RNA sequence: GCGAGGGUAACCAAGUGGUCAACGGUGAUCGACUCAAGAUCGAUUCGCGCAGGCGUUCGCGGGUUCAAAUCCCUCCCCUCGCACCA
């Protein structure tokens, strides 16, 4: 017998699989599935493994079910991350080098070339393909491409031409996080601190101060009517600067920020904060107010000068109170302008006093401010003399008025700080011009997407709400970048198409990727793609015959059946790709379904390359074997659930495969005539086939393995126990071997190929027919009989364990017919709680009196405890209990080592016999 | 904060009104086989019980029901997403 040797199985299978999964249009019905392609900037870990193995299992399943399956793969190399990585390696950054050299095990000769970003992605693309192949992924590698291939760029240009012509691409200005040292917008991953900070649009209220403006930033312009003073920090140096030709007084920090926000700024001179104290400023909407000192004023927040509305802002109120408690500015009174239900005349005062806040340093101040702010926004109304509008309306109206008449402008600032770039510099808000957007905010576009989403099959169904919400929530998406790899943006070639925006319809490109390579990129005009994908004729198309081949291929494969991706892409990529599809492709070519994955954990902690908490996929394959890795990843959780990689569980998975392997080899040559227990085994097998098939239809890999592996394994345990002495099975086991190998082939294809050969299967098991249920082999009667026997054996065992005597014989006492009658009546009753009455209507039962009511109660309890299908079968008189036990007598005597008798409970004289019920005979151990 | 999903025995995990003391797997304990085993097979793994039973469990607390892990409400905790980033 061959030893279990997964490395050898893998080698042999790989030899036989070369080119086997290259897939071309055929007579068969197609099944096209694809995964979000990887960004190959590092080595694959076992989390990646799951992402690509799930679709592979599904691909293999459908291939065996006779579909023409396409599972392609490519590499997304667009974007900025590798640029940063190559720079860090070039400058000798220890952390980065350690990651690539030690964790990813990049050889020194390769690593030194990583100063070129393209080398990094090329290296890891090859690695990905190598490791994916090692995992047994049935990918058509002819279709591999990267997103910086010139032909792909031509495809992207075609895509964008359509988006542009449909009016989805617009140009505008946009506030972004910006680092003045790097001279670049700053993404989340470039931040040292402040990744939660949001950019907020403030209104600058322009107070007049002599010939200059003093701007104060506010989110609540409507409170201008209640301003009693401004706050300036006396310890801060302010500047007088010419902003767009007008004099402003702001903090030094603010002057720098304003410059980034579409203003020309030249600083004239410094003004110590102290000099401004007690000066007077004015605004048309509130008149003349003084400037007061306040330590809480932060020069790095907006303009660095704050307007004070003590009636409605707790900070202002308490700062004023603090001053007044020192006997200063006692003539200033809060000026209320807003009424809010639940608050008195001066909300800020009331809130501060109620909370018992002593001074402005109290930590509860922020929460209090938020509370007043929310209450006034939600329920507040301006006083009648200011128009009486709700606050939420007045806010925008006043802002508009100020902008139009009173010189106000917008200023962008973060809602929380600090925000610090990786380089250590403070991040500011810059208004970026010549910024291009995909107009995801467009309601008409959204509506198209929502409509199509309804027709899509989403797995698991719970993610649907999340998709709906994402469509609803999406705003315009900045779709061009200044740094990184990618396709040039056609309308501004200094910029690149943003990485999430060049990877939305490439699933269509897969269908032609292996053929389009033969074309020179410059010949790939939009007209060429229009013909291939949209069937649009145009004069002078090059190489028409080849284009027709591609058109045929596209028409065959598209639309894709399912796209697979991790759930974190719902809020961007997965939704974007629907937007792009509906914008470009006709209805019948729109995506049909998506399967969303959970995350991967390693020993209970989140897997993360940067934290070093990863297990490399290749190491796992080398250590445990590809089949083990596959079976573990598929069996430990359903695809959409998070899975946890634990070595001890992986080791036991390997043992399970080995047990399967040995079991097949032991059974495959068994001969002999089948007995009842063989029929039972075959009937159960049909059940497992049906359930495995359903599970895989629904992408439930774990459920499928439970059925296909553990279900059959457990049946075999019972089967072996039930075999008569000296028998090791029957010829039916060959049928089971064949089916079992095929059921597990999608999960453990290497071992399956080996065994398929051993049992004399034709060709590759990868292309063998998926087992189908043979109705003739299904037998409820036999399964029910075995169920009765099994339950009784379990009861005998538990009794035997409890009682201390050494049994001399075991007697099974069968329930009398009238109890069967009661059982059937109750089982068939529409309301089982009323069934007892039903039973007692019968005269014969009435005569039995208490005996009958007791039996009815016991039957009711028993019926509740049995599986419903079993109850139905028993009630339909599906089992001859005496025959079951008589024919299992030899087995029972072997099991328990004592003589075994079957008798009728009534008249048996045994005290225990009265407890006999249908499907639960009395057991008498003596 | 907002949106979505989730909390089940030592661990992972199935289960969405009675099939539930709760599938399956791991780990642990005992036994069998072996020179031996990290290999294989069998048993046990909430408590009590010399008869197949009883009691108490499914994040906390409360409610609906003849009956709740499962339905409803309050609260606590965890994970993911919240954008220019793959």
> What average pLDDT does the structure give for chain A?
89
Picking from A372-386, A397-411, A440-454, which range would have the lowest pLDDT averaged per residue? A372-386
Q: Which has the higher per-residue pLDDT, A354 or A627?
A: A627
Q: Check if residue A571 sits with its Cβ under 7 angstroms from strand B.
A: yes
Average pLDDT of span A132-142: 96
Answer whether A45's CB lies under 8 Å from A111's CB: no
Note the CA–C1' distance, A869 to B17, in angstroms: 18
User: CA A801 – C1' B50 distance (Å)?
Assistant: 9
Q: Is the CB of A463 under 7 A from strand B?
A: yes
Interval A8-17: pLDDT, tens:
999 999 999 9
CB of residue A469 closer than 7 A to nucleic acid strand B?
A: yes
Judge whether residue A366 contacts strand B, using its CB and a 7 Å cut-off. no
Kindly determine whether the C-beta of residue A444 is less than 7 Å away from any atom of nucleic acid strand B.
no
- Evaluate if the CB of A799 falls below 7 Å from strand B: yes
Q: Tell me the average pLDDT across A15-27.
A: 96
Residues 177-206 of A with CB under 7 A from strand B: 177, 185-190, 198
Q: Which domains are delineated in chain A?
A: 198-415 (3.90.740.10), 662-780 (1.10.730.10), 784-925 (no CATH)
Q: Determine whether the distance from the CB of A917 to the nearest atom of strand B is below 7 Å.
A: no
- Report pLDDT for A134: 95
Q: Are A900 and A801 in contact (CB under 8 A)?
A: no
pLDDT at A2 over 70: no
Nucleotide nearest to A479 (CA to C1'): B84
Taking the C-alpha atoms of residue A420 and residue A401, their distance in angstroms, rounded to an integer, is 35
What pLDDT score was predicted for residue A833?
64
Strand residue runs (E) in A11-108 = 30-35, 68-70
- What is the ipTM, given to two decimal places? 0.92
Q: Which residue is nearest to nucleotide B5 (CA to C1')?
A: A462
A846-864 mean pLDDT: 81
Nearest nucleotide to the CA of A486, by C1', is B86
Q: With residue A413 as reference, give the H or E element that holds it.
A: strand A409-414
C-alpha–C-alpha distance, residues A637 and A53, integer Å:
13
Please report which confidence band the pLDDT of residue A486 belongs to, taking 50, 70 and 90 as the band edges: very high
Q: Is the CB of A926 under 7 A from strand B?
A: yes
Strand B close to A895 by CB, under 7 A: no
Is the distance between the Cβ of A462 and the closest atom of strand B smaller than 7 Å?
yes
Confidence of residue A832 (pLDDT cuts 50, 70, 90): low
- Strand B contacts in A 259-278 (CB under 7 A): none
A 10 A CB-CB count for A280 gives 14
Task: List strand B contacts in A 583-622 (CB < 7 A).
Answer: 599, 604, 606
Residue positions counted in chain A: 926
Whether the CB of A864 is less than 7 Å away from nucleic strand B comes out as yes
Angstrom CA distances, A841 to A816, A820, A853, stand at 19, 16, 11
Give the percent of chain A with pLDDT over 70.
99
Q: Residues 6 or more apart from A749 whose CB is under 8 A from it?
A: A13, A60, A136, A138, A627, A630, A765, A766
How is residue A70 written in tokens? 């396409």
Over residues A174-194, the mean pLDDT reads 78
Rounded CA–C1' distance between A667 and B79, in angstroms: 45
pLDDT at residue A1 greater than cutoff 60: no
Nucleotide nearest to A720 (CA to C1'): B41
Q: Spell out the residues 6+ positions from residue A454 whose beta carbon is closer than 8 angstroms to its own.
A: none
Instruction: Give A4 CA → B39 C1' in Å.
Output: 13
Residue A775 CB closer than 7 angstroms to strand B? no
Q: Is the CB of A478 under 7 A from strand B?
A: yes
Site of tokens 């000798």:
A92
Judged by phi (left if over 0) then psi (alpha if -120 to 50, else beta), residue A19 lies in left
A715 CB-to-strand B distance under 7 Å: no
Q: Which nucleotides of B are covered by protein (CB under 7 A)?
A: 3-6, 12-14, 18-21, 23-27, 39-44, 49-52, 66, 79-86
Whether CB of A473 is under 7 Å from strand B: the answer is yes
């Amino acid at each position: 017998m061959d030893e279990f040797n997964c490395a050898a199985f893998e080698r042999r299978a790989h030899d036989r699989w070369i080119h086997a999964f290259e897939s071309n249009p055929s007579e068969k019905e197609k099944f096209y599935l694809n995964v979000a392609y990887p960004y190959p900037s590092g080595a694959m870990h076992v989390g990646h493994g799951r992402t690509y193995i799930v679709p592979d299992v599904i691909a293999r399943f459908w291939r065996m079910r006779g579909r023409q399956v396409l599972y392609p793969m490519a590499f997304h190399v667009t974007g900025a991350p590798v640029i940063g990585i190559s720079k860090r390696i070039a400058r000798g950054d220890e952390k980065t080098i350690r990651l690539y050299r030690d964790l990813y095990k990049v050889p020194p000769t390769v690593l030194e070339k990583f100063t070129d970003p393209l080398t990094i992605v090329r290296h890891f693309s090859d690695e990905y393909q190598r490791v994916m192949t090692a995992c047994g992924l049935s990918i058509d590698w002819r279709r591999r491409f990267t997103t910086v291939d010139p032909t792909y760029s031509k495809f992207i240009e075609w895509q964008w031409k359509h988006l542009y012509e449909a009016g989805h691409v617009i140009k505008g200005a946009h506030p972004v996080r910006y680092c003045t040292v790097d001279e670049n917008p700053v993404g989340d991953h470039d931040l040292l601190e402040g990744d939660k900070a949001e950019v907020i649009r403030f209104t600058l209220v322009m107070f007049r101060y002599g010939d200059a403006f003093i701007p104060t930033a506010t989110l609540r312009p409507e409170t201008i009517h209640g301003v009693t003073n401004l706050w300036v920090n006396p310890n801060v140096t302010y500047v007088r600067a010419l902003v767009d030709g007008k004099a402003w007084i702001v903090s030094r920090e603010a002057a720098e920020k304003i410059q980034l926000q579409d203003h020309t700024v030249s600083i004239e001179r410094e003004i110590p904060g102290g000099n401004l104290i007690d000066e007077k400023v004015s605004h048309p909407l509130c008149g003349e107010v003084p400037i007061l000192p306040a330590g809480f004023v932060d020069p790095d927040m907006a303009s660095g000068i704050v307007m004070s509305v003590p009636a409605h802002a707790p900070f202002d109120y308490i700062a004023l109170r603090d001053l007044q408690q020192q006997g200063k500015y006692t003539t200033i009174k809060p000026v209320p302008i807003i009424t809010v239900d639940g608050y008195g005349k001066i909300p800020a005062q009331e809130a501060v006093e109620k909370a018992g806040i002593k001074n402005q340093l109290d930590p509860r101040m922020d929460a209090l401010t938020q509370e007043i702010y929310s209450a006034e926004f939600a329920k507040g109304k301006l006083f009648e003399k200011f128009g009486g509008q709700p606050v939420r309306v007045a806010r925008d109206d006043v802002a508009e008025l100020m902008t139009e008449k009173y010189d106000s402008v917008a200023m962008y600032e973060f809602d929380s700080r600090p925000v610090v770039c990786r380089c250590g510099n403070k991040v500011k808000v810059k208004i970026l011009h010549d910024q291009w957007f995909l107009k995801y905010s467009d309601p008409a576009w959204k509506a198209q997407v929502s409509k199509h989403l309804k027709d899509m099959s989403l797995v698991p169904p719970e993610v649907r709400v999340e998709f709906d919400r994402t469509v609803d929530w999406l705003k315009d998406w900045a779709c061009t970048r200044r740094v990184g790899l990618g396709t040039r943006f056609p309308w501004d070639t200094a910029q690149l198409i943003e990485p999430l925006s060049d990877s939305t319809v490439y699933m269509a490109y897969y269908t032609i990727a292996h053929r389009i390579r033969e074309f020179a990129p410059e010949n790939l005009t939009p007209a060429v793609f229009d013909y291939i994908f949209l069937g649009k004729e145009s004069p002078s198309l090059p190489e028409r015959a080849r284009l027709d081949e591609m058109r045929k291929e596209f028409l065959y494969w598209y639309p894709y059946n399912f796209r697979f991706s991790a759930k974190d892409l719902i809020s961007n990529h997965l939704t974007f790709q629907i937007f792009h599809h509906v914008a470009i492709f006709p209805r019948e070519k729109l995506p049909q379904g998506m399967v969303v994955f959970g995350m991967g954990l390693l020993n209970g902690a989140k897997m993360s390359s940067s934290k070093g908490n990863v297990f490399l996929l290749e190491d796992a394959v080398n250590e445990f074997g590809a089949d083990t890795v596959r079976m573990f990843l598929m069996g430990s959780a359903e695809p959409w659930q998070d899975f946890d990689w634990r070595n001890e569980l992986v080791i036991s998975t390997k043992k399970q495969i080995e047990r399967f392997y040995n079991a097949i080899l032991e059974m495959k040559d068994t001969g002999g005539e089948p007995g009842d227990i063989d029929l039972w085994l075959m009937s159960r097998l049909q059940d497992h086939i049906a359930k495995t098939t359903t599970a895989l239809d629904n992408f439930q890999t774990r459920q499928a393995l439970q059925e296909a592996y553990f279900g059959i394994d457990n049946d075999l345990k019972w089967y072996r126990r039930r075999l008569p002495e000296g028998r090791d099975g029957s010829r039916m086991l060959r049928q089971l071997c064949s089916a079992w190998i095929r059921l597990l082939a999608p999960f453990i294809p290497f071992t399956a190929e080996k065994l398929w050969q051993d049992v004399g299967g034709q060709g590759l098991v990868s292309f063998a027919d998926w087992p189908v249920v043979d109705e003739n082999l299904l037998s409820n009667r036999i399964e029910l009989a075995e169920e009765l026997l099994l339950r009784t054996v379990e009861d005998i065992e538990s009794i035997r364990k409890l009682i201390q005597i050494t049994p001399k014989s075991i007697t099974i006492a069968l329930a009398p017919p009238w109890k069967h009658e009661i059982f059937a009546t109750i089982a068939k009753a529409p309301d089982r709680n009323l069934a007892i009455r039903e039973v007692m209507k019968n005269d014969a039962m009435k005569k039995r009196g208490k005996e009958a009511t007791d039996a009815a109660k016991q039957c009711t309890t028993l019926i509740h405890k049995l599986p419903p299908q079993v109850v139905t079968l028993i009630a339909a008189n599906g089992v001859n209990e005496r025959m079951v036990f008589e024919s299992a007598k030899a087995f029972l005597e072997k099991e328990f080592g004592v003589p075994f008798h079957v008798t009728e409970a009534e008249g048996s004289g045994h005290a225990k016999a009265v407890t006999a019920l249908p499907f639960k005979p009395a057991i008498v151990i003596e």
